[in-house]
Amino acid sequence: MKTIRQLMSLWLCLTASVAWSSHGADFKADKPGEILEVTELASGKSLDPLAGYIEDPSHELTIDTMADVAWQYSEKGLSFGYTDSVYWYRLVFSNHSEKEIQRFVSLSYPVLDYIDVYRRDGNSPWTQTSLGDKQVFDDRLISHRHFVIPMDIAKGETQEWIFRVDTSSAMQFPINIWEERDFFVHDQNQLLGLGLYYGVMLIMVFYNLFVFFSVREGNYLYYVIYVGCMAGFLGSLQGINFQYLWPEATNWNDQSIIVLLSGVIIFASLFTQKFLYLKDDAPFFNRLLIGVIVTCVSIVFLSNIVAYHALIRLLIVVAMIAMLGAIYLGFKRWSEGFVAARYYAIAWTSFLLGGMILALNKFNVIPRNFFTENTLQIGSAMEVILLSFALADRLNQEKRERYDAQINALEHEKLARKAQTEALDQERNARKAQEKALEHEREAREAQAKALDIQKRATETLEERVKERTVELESVNRQLEKMSTTDALTNIRNRRYFDEFVANEFALAIHDSGDLAVLLLDIDHFKIVNDKYGHQAGDEILRCVSGAISESLTNEDQLARYGGEEFAVVLAGMKLEHAVSIAESIRERVEQLNFDRIDPSLRVTISIGVKAGIPKSSNTSDEWINEADQALYESKENGRNQVTVRQ
């Protein structure tokens, strides 16, 4: 319990500090309204404070009237809450470099309904691109849950971009500019976090579903459906469901948010009724929850008739009221002595904080950022875990109550035997009748002993089942940990594992004054090969190259996919000469790879940068990786297919 309180305190402090800091922070726009030089925009930079906007409540403005409007600018981001107005946004880009520039422009709010993108060079005619979740997913320019628009801007060219956005969801316009590689690296990190979250939710669903089939406790079924609805609701809100489950169901995509959020409230209310025994102990609150359930069921049926923006506002209010009521009931039942309610109250408090921050974000009370957009995931993950603890705690409490009842029965029986003994002393003339009574009592004790033995065996069987489920959960957790550090394409370690591994080896080398070598490897002209032969051929080349590198190493944990077509190798305790020899062996193996099944004329080479030596206490692993990276770039600049050393 002490650990739970500490985790909850940490979550409360983190939520308050980050939400407060995000509310008070201002975006610092360098030159809002001016022409943006693409080469000077950092990859991943938010363009919100640099974009002009104008509200169109009448829906009458057109692209031809944009030359006469007075654009406005906001330092607090382009988030305007739920509105019936259309909003227009404007950005102007230029390229004064000596080469063509390619970038990605991303809109990272996947539930916008209609997005019309108008682009032109100078005074040339406008070109129009239509996006939004009211179009089937396959119509997107880039297959991604967010709206990603490729930018090609020739040298000396100036492009004007104007966006028209019309949506029934919250009017938010988070726009960023990316280099292609940085975008996919950033997206891979986000997918890792999403995978962990939905993995936890899936584990909780299957684990508690197995428990339900074992103990036939209805609360476990309500809990499983509630967790499934919660995961589905967040999946729709983040665009994951639209990408993978219903890419052509544009109407259902909006409706699913209403239906799944209603399901969350409905099954959370059913769970609360049964878990806290409201029907018998708090009939007034039980009737209130029935009203909430009826309201949500009505909203589900109205989702085919009433506009989305009206229902979602009502549903958010109902959800907030239901959460506040659940927290109040949890603490009330806890104060009344129902011990299992402590986990329940803490769980809903955690979820309430996440839900409140998300709701305030949607109503434009606090700014939109990574924390305010994902706090509901953090809160809901903690909540479903704590609710699972609450179910187990209640099961244990019921078992303890049955045990106490048995002890009381034995005490009463002991008193009864004492009274019988005294009666025997007083009724000496009725010994035969007393002996018969004692015989009946002995038979009763034998029957009771048999009942206790049956109860003991049942308890042992239940404990064994709980132990088996715990072992299964630990096995699944180990598999998830291995999956999170393994690259799915090449089946070697990924960047996350490499960062931890190189830091540990670097610290050991400093402590032992031992040699250490870091190799960074990059496939030459991989983008050209990938574009020419396709992504499937590119994936096969990556797998073959990673296999060739592994054959030159003694330990597969030394190799990791660093990103894209880059690999990294850590050689602990290896001097420079040996490290260079291994690097040359890798280069030769890759050069000798046969890709006849793709193209008999195709040959792949690799450039390698090596940083080796004995690290000092003043060095860091990042410095050595940067040195190896510089050596890799020298190999590239000097003709590729070679090894360059930084000693």
CA separation for the pair 372, 354 (Å, rounded):
8
Residue in this structure with the two tokens 């940085």, named with its chain if needed: 182
* DSSP assignment letter at 486: B
Alpha helices in 247-369 (DSSP H): 250-275, 278-281, 283-302, 308-335, 341-362
Largest CA distance in the chain: 124
CA separation for the pair 448, 540 (Å, rounded):
70
Neighbours of 273 (CB within 10 A): 20
Neighbours of 588 (CB within 10 A): 12
Count the helices and strands in the chain (H runs, E runs). Answer: 16, 15
Q: Which of 373, 383, 505, 565 is labelled catalytic? A: 565
Q: What residues form DSSP beta bridges with 91?
A: 161
Neighbours of 504 (CB within 10 A): 13
* Residues 120 and 160: beta-carbon distance below 8 Å: yes
CA distances from 433 to 210, 310, 414 (A): 54, 81, 20
What are the structure tokens assigned to 92, written together?
């102007």
Phi then psi for residue 118, to 5 deg, are -110, 130
CA distances from 629 to 47, 180, 521, 635 (A): 30, 19, 9, 10
* Residues 277 and 394: beta-carbon distance below 8 Å: no
Q: What residues form DSSP beta bridges with 520?
A: 568, 609
**Annotated catalytic, 413?**
no
Torsion of CA 56, 62, 63, 65, to 10 degrees: -90
CA distances from 170 to 72, 149, 271, 361, 479 (A): 19, 21, 30, 9, 39
Pairing of the two strands 643-646 and 606-613: parallel
* Residues 231 and 198: beta-carbon distance below 8 Å: yes
Starting from the edge strand earliest in sequence, which strands make up the sheet with 175-178, in order? 45-46, 175-178, 101-107, 147-153
* Residues 225 and 263: beta-carbon distance below 8 Å: yes
The set of catalytic residues is: 565
